[in-house]
């Protein structure tokens, strides 16, 4: 995941002073409320300041589609890491902070961004659900949500790690479970990386399944994502919309007993961090190149989990 690797290099030069500056900013002026024109955008409060401000007035017409299936368990509190508009300002041009802004279990933002869960989660015997709206994501832009399990593989201790070649080279690789990586709103990939290597199963190249939108699931409309994680580590992913279900990941080649055992070990001993970002540089099925990132808008809402906490991420 090249975009995330580049972002992580920048994080090595963070300043704690930035978070103080952020807290004193006029939050209302930072809220871009154009996303409220999306049908159903204000139907599910996500706890964010911008949702409250943007949705406090007259709401758009209700989404005629059926209400999303209630998610399991408890909300996943997401911590905002960075946003592109803040990187361009005088105060944020050279400094980043890991903790910026309020926590919520969703977001609706434009441009480059990354969020992570405040807690590490053991999802064995449970799972994860969320609603995503990719309609504003442009071609060649990767909007995603995935799990990483720090402490596995190379045992990197930092809260963020993944199984990209860049992190393997740095000795900070870990299990990475890509629940959904999109190419705009035309298709998405679900890819599991449970070991280091290339072309050998669920390795750095991964075990992958592709879902092309426009059939069962319309990528230009919101849809629900359901992830189930069995007690033996078997992971399945489903997309749901208007009473229809598409299987995004189930019994994929290479996702064998060893891959499932790695997930069991990682969940039990360390816990998974939920990460969601939007960047450009690579998109599925396997294309390098850039899209209009600054003009892309991604909405992830109602992120819920069933499982247990393994403690704070930071």
pLDDT tens-digit profile of 204-227? 999 999 999 999 999 999 999 999
At residue 46, the pLDDT reads 65
16 assigned to some structural domain: yes
User: How many CB atoms neighbour CB 135 within 10 A?
Assistant: 18
- Using DSSP bridges, classify how beta strands 78-83 and 113-117 pair: parallel, antiparallel or unpaired: antiparallel
CA distance 237 to 230: 12
At residue 51, the pLDDT reads 62
Stated as kind and residue range, the H or E segment containing 46 is none
CA distance 314 to 157: 10
In CATH, what number is assigned to the domain containing residue 35?
A: 2.60.120.200
62 assigned to some structural domain: no
Checking if the pLDDT of 245 tops 70, the result is yes
152 assigned to some structural domain: yes
Instruction: Look at 11 and 39; give whichever has higher pLDDT.
Output: 39
Total of domains in the chain: 1
- Range of 49-53, 57-61, 171-175, 194-198 with top mean pLDDT: 194-198
241 assigned to some structural domain: yes
Which of 17-21, 31-35, 70-74, 123-127 shows the lowest mean pLDDT across its residues?
17-21
87: which DSSP letter?
A: H
Q: Is 211 helix (H, G, I), strand (E, B) or coil?
A: strand
Q: pLDDT grade, residue 192 (50/70/90)?
A: very high
206 assigned to some structural domain: yes
**Percent of the chain at pLDDT above 90?**
63
83 assigned to some structural domain: yes
* pTM for the whole structure: 0.74
Of 145, 192, 190, 148, residue with least CA distance to 172: 148
HEC string of 240-280?
EECCEEEEEECCCCCCCHHHHHHHHHHHHHCCEEEEEEEEE
Handedness of CA 274, 276, 282, 285 (dihedral sign): positive
Collect all residues with Cβ–Cβ distance below 8 Å to 282 and sequence separation of at least 6: 1, 2, 3, 142, 288, 289
Which of 144-148, 158-162, 166-170, 193-197 shows the lowest mean pLDDT across its residues?
158-162
240 assigned to some structural domain: yes
Checking if the pLDDT of 9 tops 90, the result is no
157 assigned to some structural domain: yes
Residue pLDDT, tens place only, 25-83: 233 335 667 666 666 667 666 656 566 667 664 433 333 334 334 445 899 999 988 76
Domain carrying residue 136: 2-57+68-312
Beta strands in the chain (DSSP E): 74-75, 78-83, 107-110, 113-117, 119-133, 141-149, 175-183, 187-193, 207-212, 223-229, 235-241, 244-249, 273-283, 287-289, 297-312
At residue 35, the pLDDT reads 62
Checking if the pLDDT of 257 tops 90, the result is yes
Residue pLDDT, tens place only, 273-298: 999 999 999 999 999 999 999 999 99
What is the average per-residue pLDDT within 121-137? 98
Checking if the pLDDT of 248 tops 60, the result is yes
At residue 83, the pLDDT reads 63
């Amino acid at each position: 995941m090249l975009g995330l690797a580049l972002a992580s290099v920048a994080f090595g030069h963070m300043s704690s002073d930035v978070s103080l500056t952020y807290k004193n900013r006029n939050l209302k002026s930072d809220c871009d409320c154009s996303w409220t024109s999306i049908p159903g955008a204000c139907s599910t409060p996500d706890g964010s300041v911008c949702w409250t401000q943007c949705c406090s007035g007259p709401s758009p017409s209700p989404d005629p589609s059926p209400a999303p299936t209630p998610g399991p368990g408890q909300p996943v509190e997401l911590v905002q890491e960075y946003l592109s508009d803040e990187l361009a300002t005088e105060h944020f041009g050279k400094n980043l902070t890991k903790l910026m802004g309020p926590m919520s279990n969703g977001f609706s933002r434009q441009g480059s961004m990354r969020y992570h869960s405040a807690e590490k989660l053991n999802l064995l015997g449970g799972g994860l659900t969320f609603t995503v709206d990719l309609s504003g994501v442009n071609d060649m832009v990767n909007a995603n949500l995935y799990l990483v399990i720090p402490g596995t593989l190379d045992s990197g201790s930092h809260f963020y790690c993944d199984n990209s070649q860049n992190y393997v080279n740095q000795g900070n690789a870990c299990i990475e479970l890509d629940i959904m990586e999109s190419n705009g709103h035309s298709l998405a990939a679900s890819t599991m990386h449970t070991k280091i290597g290339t072309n050998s199963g669920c390795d750095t190249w991964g075990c992958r399944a592709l879902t092309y939108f426009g059939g069962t699931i319309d990528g230009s409309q919101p849809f629900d994502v359901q992830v189930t994680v069995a007690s033996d580590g078997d992971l399945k992913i489903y997309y749901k919309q208007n009473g229809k279900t598409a299987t995004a990941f189930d019994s994929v080649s290479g996702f064998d007993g060893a891959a499932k055992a790695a997930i069991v070990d990682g969940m039990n001993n360390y816990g998974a961090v939920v990460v969601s970002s939007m960047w450009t540089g690579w998109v599925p099925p396997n294309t390098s190149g850039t899209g209009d990132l600054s003009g892309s808008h991604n909405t992830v809402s109602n992120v819920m989990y069933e499982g247990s906490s393994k403690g704070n991420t930071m």
